[in-house]
Structure 1
Amino acid sequence: MQTVRRVVCAMSGGVDSSVAALLLRRRGYEVTGVFMNNWDAVDEHGVCSAERDCEDAYRVCKKLDIPFHQVSYVKEYWHEVFSYFLNEYEKGRTPNPDILCNKHIKFNHFLSYAIDILGADAIATGHYARTSLEDEEIFQQKYIKSPQNLFRNRFEIRHDAKLLQAADRIKDQTFFLSQISQYALRKTIFPLGELTKDFVKKIAAEAGFHHVLKRKESMGICFIGERNFENFILEYLEAQPGNFVSAEDGKIMGRHKGWFLFTLGQRARIGGQRDAWFVVDKDVTTGNVYVAPTTDHPALYRDLLRTDRMHWLSEDPPGELVKNKMMECHFRFQHQMALVPCVLTLNQDGTVWATLVKPIRALTPGQFAVFYKGEECLGSGKILRLGPSVYTLQQGQHRMKSDANLSTEAVKERDPVT
């Protein structure tokens, strides 16, 4: 007799997770829907958005005739994601809480709850991503969490899962999954991995999920949503006034309420300035936010970055990188940016230098550098250091030229041609 497989599906109340649950049901699995509440948020109309989302998720589960559970990770989210988020801003960096939410909440706390409490054989989410494992291989993975050592047991024979880009490359969400553990990856099904968003909407319409189709796509940082970022962050961090300083001539252009309100590449709204100025650098020690005119100023472009210790989805660095200490691959640091070819250099402490084939705009410390080889997402590391900007290099070249010219003039004066 065939074993009935239990799959616990994370439900957000949106169209993607609703269709994921429906597809799992059609595959004959015993499906349970779970809604996670990670943030106590009340919108400007005084309505708790999580309650509305939870109600939408519950209605889908009722329609599918599957059990529905609700769990709260508000405390865990605060300690493991939001505190980190504030701490990064205070250090002058720009964090990505969505990547950390997946790492700590969905693919750690929720995964443990699904397996330990609900007896799941696997979990599923509505992410647009694929893995190299078939469902049956996922169900057969042993429930043994990897020891948190630096290196895993070399004698352990294991079928590693690879994280692969979704068929719908525009909706692909492997970027957001680049910090999850190999163990979590081996226990997760992504039912939407082979589908396009348009087809998912079609399935939802045919299934009668009209209430989720009417919802707007969730935008913005998971807990801030579409609220005013400056007002939100100033509720948690004390204002730290400082100067806007021109990167070209050091002139003070205006005042700001805190360097943490700005990220590289964004427009700086400077009182009294009619022209557009853009943030090109920040100095936490002085509180200066450096700005330059024009959105494509050379001070915004760089081609070199260093990460912190890399998180490889396979747990170990790729064999080619270990063997050669260098490897060609592709890179992105924003979810929907085009992949950029780069060369990785592996450092002894597990960090990497990434040299990009061309300078790109607004590389940002605190964001995650996510690396790809073909359609496989290899993992990610937080950007900690940047190489010099194109503008800095240009200035250096100008100085060298003028120094060389001065030297030539000096030689001419000393040894005039007769």
Structure 2
Amino acid sequence: MNPDSAERATRQSALTAQLAFRGAFREVSGSTRRISGELSRLKASERGVGGGTGVFVRYVDYGAEQLRWIDAQLAAATRLSNSASEVENPDMQLALLRLAGPRLEAAMMGSLLLAVWLDFLHLADVALKQRLYSVEWLFVNMERFQKMLEPAMTALSSVEPAQVEAAVKDIPALVGHLTSEFDATREAMRVGAENLQKMLVLKDSIEALTLLSAMKFSLPSLPPSAPALLGMGLAVGSDGVMMGTRIVVSAEWVEMMRQLVRAGVLSLPVVSAAVRIQAGQVMMAQAYNELPRGVRVALGDGPEVRGMRVTGSAGAGMNKPPRHHVMPKEFREWFEKRGFTGEMDIDEFCVEMEQAHHEAIHGGGDWKLGRTWPREWNRMIMKALGKAETEAGRTLTRNEILNIVAEAMEEYNIPMNVIPWRGR
């Protein structure tokens, strides 16, 4: 392969995206494992939220319930990522990673919210153990905080792009509001401490419990008049850490996110929402477009990235083009027998195409006449797959099928930007 060839560049891009994806996955899964351990510890405690009459256990169970769907999406993302590493075609590798991207996005934002919920559980645990707060008021407040979280968690767990995108826009402001609620409850507990010993226990507990929190950069709350403390750019220090006044994220994390955004695996709004949350109270309420330009550029916001999300006339606000199954749905059972189920269902492998292009590959738009044309897409791809199985003398594997489909898509100039069917 020519070192300067386009194919080499595509393969390098696919490899870079895979490595970045695995890094982001490890970060999220590491957080969920620690949260899982803390939830188990709280529930097993004979005092605090796990003890007494057990009325507060429901809130621990709520956290465990959210953790289950997050872990399920991480598992599905892992399977897709593994499949991406096993196929030969680099464009199909990127396509599979893009299918995994929304699952990783939902899990990443869900884990941030779950870390906030864990903080409230820890706070309730300290209050009950030290009797620093009215049990009745604590129960009412926990119920209220849960109801604040539920809409965002429900939207994220659906993994529906539209619902996730809408939720992501509101999550930084939600975390900012919950941070204020947390700080107010903590202050009420401090006032309620009857002696120095209880105050010291409260101080130590609060300092320890925010280790995993998405609120850790925001406590105590900043006054409303405080200026945005995240600078116009992020400077990389001698230790490799990218720092602003209020935010500290590793240069490695920023580069990892940038690579995933450029590859179309993660969306820039999701990544910027995570940055705003970690940047502190002031930035939580800021819209994405109000982030300092230097931060957006560091994350990969440029014309080439924004252009990836504009496909044909649909990107200009016109009617969305039809979604084309690259693996014919009338042969669904054939594909299912070869492993295309679950997150690899053929409904996940659709592409948006201009109406004229879509009709052209199906013989002019009339499916009855189209089936008589040897080069009609469905007829051609099934013939190619059947021939490959005959030559192999066995059933094709899922990855072998994906490689054949990828080659055919390139020949027919079909974009490799696969998206779910979703009934359209």
Asked whether the two chains share a fold, i.e. TM above 0.5, the reply is no
Q: Give the TM-score, by structure 2 length.
A: 0.24
- Greater RCO, 1 or 2 (C-alpha within 8 Å, sep 6+): 2
Comparing both structures, which one devotes a greater share of its residues to strand?
Answer: 1
Q: Give the TM-score, by structure 1 length.
A: 0.25
Comparing both structures, which one devotes a greater share of its residues to helix?
Answer: 2
